[in-house]
Structure 1
């Protein structure tokens, strides 16, 4: 196995970065140790190549949060890293052998000028937080330092000028791009310290609408960010028409504090696993239609995040987004919450009545979480609303038309509830037009490093820290845990660690006790030894036994190791093996009396 990894690392793996004549290229293994580098890379890093071989990449350059992405096999581009020679723009692509990640290629593209390096040092944490949205597909974004030199820019912005981010970084804003009728207003924003919101600009002969925000640290302006809001005048026209059409309704309708905007878009869905990529691609297509959508997934998988993303990618994105958890509202209040009520409908009713959530979401999207907990009598009213597109407020006899898209979510087995008479079959079919099955975190483990990197970036800003990642012991625990609470639980664990962490790395002692107890320190070390022993076992068995006997013997080895790691606790052993306790006992019975398999 080691030989295969070495061969994969030795070749370019079809990686175009390896063929680049202008970039320094180095390769790392899965432990982030340098296994090869060229003269250009050594020159950029300020050392001869030979002494760097075998060193961990994090000991040579300051990776910050990028180390988490490299460890997880996540590619990135146009990122700034720090070496002893200065700041370097780099790209990273993982190396794959079959279905395994065996290392990666880091391309050192160019050294930033000294003045820009000093500026990058000064921007520091602000630029690291800016990195989180630089790769948004639809938003053109550019960041300059206090001298007007381009520090960071994303692909969408560069496309406006038929160039690349690499070609723009390091140039003054006047040389990086041209405006046909006016100079850039970014220097003016830095001078005044006041943002400009939604101002028309002419970039490369094209009218766009953009906002410019100053970057302020300790009371000083140290740079600014420009963000393209609209690059097509038709989008502005569409918004104006929607606002004009909604104005009469605005005079008649009054809100009750319900949420009428979306918090997230499709770029907020973090992950590069096959399942998540496919879901995001489907989401973009489905969002533009009008059909109702049913989101299915375990608690904590991010169903509300998907609902926001659907709304933000739809033609209703400038209309209200209203959410409600059906399980959180008392049954006797559910009808008035959803459909509203008129004055005098019941004792304590507000003067003038109140709009329900459906009317608050008129022309927009309503998200109904835990739809499986809706009582049957309300399901009948929901069905009528979906069929007739009208509702009758509580205490009224007059129907009102509503135009709303329904996105429902559940972690229940609706099919079983239909069989048991707890959920209406006709409503089930009305809601289940398009279904998104959101996978649990244990089925998309390759996304964990990217999620953790996102959380670390967020909490660094909130807590005012500079945490760079996790040490090996903490990573072992995180990677082996099954995460029954999914992304919500992972986020809480990282936030908990931020409350006690000291230094740049989250360590084992910073993780919750109940998590650490599942994976004793000596058990983790035994697992590492067992992994190397497994290779020897397979090599020794090949040619001596048939494949069924090898698999059978290996199963016994796994069971033995799991029980050893769990100190005889069969519940924990079954958890480590990813099977039920009953399944473990069946396998123990199967191998009873065999050497090496405890009973």
Structure 2
């Protein structure tokens, strides 16, 4: 092959490569624009034209400002700094199309040769975000739901409660679940939904005490675009709207402000909601189940809870008993919880021996079933690998402070503390947990009142309850 033929072959190969690269750029769905080192446009692809409305004739050989409807050219910025920019929101072309722009410098053999921009239609990103939210809602709907068969117990008091809840499930009426923290009110709410005609619809739980008043309002009712500073583009679907055709579970309803109580009353009375920042209402078909450990009747007398809302919520009251009123169920609960904890911790514990079981049977259980699960979990962690029987020395201390005493602080015994718990930090955790339990008992299970007694915010109080697995 002559030198001319070799050169010709290289040229042909380069031309084929250029055709291939052009075809790749033209086939991509992302808009691409390329600017040379002199700041003039040298290439765009069809996706760029579809996004901006500008053709090659409008762009090639022109400065990279011709496509800017609002904002600064990112090509010019990268030409000056040789540093990439990412995620800049701009309006492009005669139709002022909103796009997210990423621009990077081009270096060939160490020499700066220009910039390349990749542009994405912001409306497409918004559609993807909406689809992601839709999938999240679908996943939430497909999560395992509790049924009445998941409620463990054979005592007369729990059987009566289950029967009352089953009667409530087959009606469309609102249900108010009453009971101390940790008794299983949410489990009953799931079971009622699952046994109702709405079981194919959404079940959405809202912790009314965990959110500020304004945030709770926007979560429940949604908001329109521009409703407040930081509002999401396109607005937000509220939980009432999301639960349309299903059930919404308002946990800790006693903590809702009077302002928000009035808006909840409208939902129950008129079956309609108004988004934050909007003045138009639209209908929703949602069943409301609420729960509280507060004394709502006392709240009525002090004017902290609306009487009209109380009667709307309390159509069918279901009282979930504390564990101390169903002690006969403790062995069944222990057996069930050990099975769950074995899966969680990868253990093979078989049972609790008689001595340890008697301690569990004699305890007051201010934290109810949730506390029982926590105690058993800690006992299993204290066990050596291979041990299969929970004994007394595995259990953490269960001595509850005397809430009627005049002592300012609870005492912590050390007769059953493990070696890990007997240090300063372990004793401090035991003391803090006992203090939380004692204060909750003193406040009759009302978390707001307990937080006030400890002179801490309700959020901080909830954080500490979660830290000690009391919620």
TM-score (norm 2): 0.55
State how far apart, in whole Å, the 2-side matches of 1:266 and 1:417 are: 31
Tell me, in whole angstroms, the C-alpha distance in 2 between the residues paired with 1:472 and 1:400. Answer: 59
1:291-337 deviation digits (Å, cap 9, x = unpaired): 00000000000000100000011111110000001000112212111
- SS of the residue corresponding to residue 351 of structure 1 reads coil
Alpha-carbon offset, residue 352 of structure 1: 1.1
2:396 corresponds to 1:512: yes
**Counterparts of 2:157 and 2:329 in 1: how far apart (Å)?**
10
Q: Secondary structure at the match of 1:451?
A: helix
Q: Which residue is equivalent to 1:538? A: none
Unmatched tracts of structure 2, length 5 or more: 1-129, 401-411, 417-437, 439-471
* Corresponding residue number in structure 2 for 1:302: 184
2:239 maps to which residue?
357
How far off its partner does 1:253 sit? Answer: 12
Match of 1:490 in 2: 372
CA deviations on 1:325-361 (whole Å, 9 max, x unpaired) are 1000112212111100011111111111111111111
- Alignment partner of 1:439 is 2:321: yes
Distance 2:244 2:144 in 1: 15
- Corresponding residue number in structure 1 for 2:35: none
Give the Cα–Cα distance (whole angstroms) in 2 for the partners of residues 331 and 284 of structure 1: 33
CA distance in 2, matches of 1:505, 1:486: 23
Superposition pairs of residues 190-229 of structure 1, within 5 angstroms:
none
Give, in angstroms, the shift of residue 373 of structure 1: 0.4
C-alpha displacement at 1:285, in angstroms? Answer: 2.2
In structure 2, what is the Cα distance between the partners aligned to 1:257 and 1:377?
30
Partner secondary structure for residue 357 of structure 2: helix
Alignment match, 2:207: 325
Residues 397 and 414 in structure 2, CA contact (< 8 A), matched pair in contact too: no
User: Secondary structure, in 3 states, of the residue corresponding to 2:382?
Assistant: coil
Q: Who is 1:409 aligned against? A: 291
Give the whole-Å Cα distance in 1 for the aligned partners of 2:132 and 2:355: 57
C-alpha distance in 2 between matches for 1:513 and 1:441: 18
For the structure 1 residues 372 and 318, does the alpha-carbon distance in structure 2 shift closer, same or farther, using more than 3 Å as the test?
same
Q: 1:475 to 1:460 in 2, by over 3 A?
A: same
Q: Which has the larger radius of gyration?
A: 2
The 3-state SS of whatever aligns with 2:317 is: strand
Does 1:456 pair with 2:344?
no
Q: Does residue 276 in structure 1 map to residue 162 in structure 2?
A: no
Deviation at 1:483, TM superposition (A): 0.4
Q: CA deviation at 1:463?
A: 2.3
CA shift, 1:263, in A, is 2.6
- Which residue in 1 is equivalent to 2:194? 312
Match of 2:16 in 1: none
Matches within 5 A, 1:28-47: none
Q: Cα 1:519–1:307, aligned 2, differ >3 Å: closer, same or farther? A: farther
**Contact 1:256/1:355, CA 8 A, preserved across alignment:** no
Native 8 Å contact 2:397 2:415 kept in 1: no
Contact 1:262 1:312 survives alignment (8 Å): no
Which of 403, 408, 420 aligns to 2:302? It is: 420
Residue in structure 2 matched with residue 126 of structure 1 by the alignment: none
TM-score, normalising length: structure 1: 0.44
Q: Which runs of 5+ in 1 are unaligned?
A: 1-250, 522-574, 576-599
Structure 1 distance, partners of 2:252, 2:369, is 18
Task: Note if contact 2:224-2:276 (Cα within 8 Å) is conserved in structure 1.
Answer: yes
Native 8 Å contact 1:442 1:486 kept in 2? yes
In the alignment, is residue 291 of structure 1 matched against residue 173 of structure 2? Answer: yes
Going from structure 1 to structure 2, the CA distance change for 1:483 and 1:395 (only over 3 Å counts) comes to same
1:366 and 1:313 map into 2 onto residues whose CA distance is: 15
> Once the two structures are superposed, what CA deviation does each residue of 1:241-274 show, in whole Å capped at 9, x if it has no partner?
xxxxxxxxxx999649464355311111110110
Higher relative contact order (CA 8 A, sep 6+): 2
Query: Which position in structure 2 is the counterpart of 1:337?
Result: 219
Distance 1:434 1:324 in 2: 20
Deviations 1:221-256 (A, max 9, x none): xxxxxxxxxxxxxxxxxxxxxxxxxxxxxx999649
Rounded to whole Å, the distance in 1 between the matches of 2:153 and 2:341 is 19
Deviation at 1:519, TM superposition (A): 10
Q: Secondary structure at the match of 1:499?
A: helix
Q: CA deviation at 1:416?
A: 0.5
Count of aligned residue pairs for this structure pair = 274
CA apart distance, 1:286: 1.7
Deviation of 1:473 after TM superposition, in Å, equals: 2.3
Supply the distance in 2 between the matched residues of 1:514 and 1:505 (Cα, whole angstroms).
19
Counterpart Cα distance in 1 of 2:393 and 2:335? 19
Q: Separation in 1 of the partners of 2:223 and 2:134? A: 13
